[in-house]
């Protein structure tokens, strides 16, 4: 893929934590309107790569670029202003706030603040149908994920990094998530990188899949092709991690 076509990516990332090398010469690129899947056994370094991509961890070497700019030295907040959004493995919502208050806090975080009308738009976008006076901490996993995603959409991100968005969801919810992400990508031309263990979600959703094992990218390609790759199957089933 030509570098000019990618809106977001990294090149040659090496990350050590506590004296251990966690990522080795990792590169990844994603275009607008594309869903890139990121898979790999437990402990492969997927979340650590997201920490580097989002600006929470500083890698020892390598480059991160966003929308034509080198953001390697920019932190989480600066990258988020430039259009990068991220969700986490565990959907932590503000436990004591209601849904409405959570939206209000998210709206007021922008300067100038977003209108309530936009929070209603975002709630509809993700099909969040719970009453706004419900306490966010009482929502089930899927509604928490929807609420957090709706808050992120208020920023009109260009790139969305999602860490295991299907974990804790039942099959019908995964189908809904699949449709929802497709809509975001097609209508808002987002570039999405999604870490996922549920391969059935990626099979339907991802345009391409990258495979990380023991901190190294070992395969890249169309989902079906990657899932059949012997090196990938060995990494998963022979307990290489
Ligand atoms: N802050 C840290 N300090 C030291 N080691 C860490 C730190 N964070 C992660 N690691 C180690 O880095 C390796 C990769 O962890 P990471 O969480 O990135 O894997 P993962 O692919 O996201 O795994 P999972 O599928 O279980 O979520 C693991 O061996 C982990 O123990
Ligand atoms: Mg992880």
* Nearest listed ligand to the Cα of residue 38: 1
Does residue 88 fall inside a structural domain? no
Q: Which atom of ligand 1 approaches the CA of 18 most closely?
A: 4
Q: Tell me how far apart the alpha carbons of residues 132 and 44 are, in angstroms, rounded to a whole number.
A: 39
pLDDT single digits (tens) 150-182: 999 999 999 999 999 999 999 999 999 999 999
Whether 19 lines ligand 1, by a CB cut-off of 6 Å, is no
Listed residues 105, 135, 156: the one ending a domain: 156
Domain total for the chain?
A: 2
Distance 2 CA to ligand 2 centre (A): 28
Q: What residues have CB less than 8 Å from 189, skipping those under 6 apart?
A: 32, 33
The residue whose CA is least distant from atom 31 of ligand 1 is 43
Q: Tell me how far apart the alpha carbons of residues 105 and 204 are, in angstroms, rounded to a whole number.
A: 34
Q: Which two tokens stand for residue 1?
A: 């893929």
pLDDT at 111: 76
Residues 59 and 142 in one domain: no
Residues 171 and 148 in one domain: no
pLDDT single digits (tens) 12-25: 999 999 999 999 99
Asked if the bond preceding 112 is cis, omega within 30° of 0, the reply is yes
pLDDT at 240: 45
Q: Tell me how far apart the alpha carbons of residues 230 and 49 are, in angstroms, rounded to a whole number.
A: 24
Q: Give pLDDT < 50 ranges for the chain.
A: 1-4, 240-241
Listed residues 124, 139, 156: the one ending a domain: 156
Distance 43 CA to ligand 1 centre (A): 5
pLDDT at 70: 97
DSSP 8-class letter at 64: E
Whether 47 lines ligand 1, by a CB cut-off of 6 Å, is yes
Whether 31 lines ligand 1, by a CB cut-off of 6 Å, is no
Whether 235 lines ligand 1, by a CB cut-off of 6 Å, is no
Q: Print burial letters for 174-213: b (CB count within 10 Å at least 16), e (below 16).
A: beebbebbeebbeeeebbbbbbbebbebbbebbbbbbbbb
pLDDT at 201: 80
* pTM attached to this predicted model: 0.94
Q: Tell me how far apart the alpha carbons of residues 53 and 194 are, in angstroms, rounded to a whole number.
A: 13
* Nearest listed ligand to the Cα of residue 19: 1
């Amino acid at each position: 893929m030509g570098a000019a076509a990618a809106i977001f990516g990294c090149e040659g990332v090496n990350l050590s934590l506590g004296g251990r090398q966690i990522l080795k010469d990792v590169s990844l690129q994603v275009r607008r309107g594309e869903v890139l899947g990121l898979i790999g056994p437990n402990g492969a370094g997927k979340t650590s790569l997201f920490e580097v991509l989002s600006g929470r961890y500083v890698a020892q070497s390598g480059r991160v670029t966003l929308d034509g700019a080198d953001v390697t030295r920019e932190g989480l907040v600066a990258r988020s202003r430039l259009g990068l959004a991220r969700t986490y493995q565990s959907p932590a919502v503000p436990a004591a706030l209601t849904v409405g208050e959570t939206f209000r806090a998210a709206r007021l975080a922008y300067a100038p603040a977003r209108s309530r009308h936009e929070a209603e738009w975002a709630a509809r976008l993700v099909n969040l149908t719970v009453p706004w006076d419900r306490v966010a901490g009482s929502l089930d996993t899927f509604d928490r994920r929807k609420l957090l995603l709706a808050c992120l959409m208020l920023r009109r991100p260009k790139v969305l990094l999602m860490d295991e968005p299907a974990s804790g969801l039942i099959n019908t919810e995964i189908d809904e998530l699949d449709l929802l992400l497709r809509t975001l990508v097609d209508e808002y031309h987002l570039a999405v990188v999604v870490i996922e263990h549920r391969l059935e979600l990626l099979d339907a959703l991802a345009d391409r899949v990258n495979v990380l094992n023991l901190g190294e990218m070992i395969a890249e390609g169309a989902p079906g092709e990657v899932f059949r790759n012997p090196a990938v199957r060995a990494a998963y089933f022979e307990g290489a991690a």
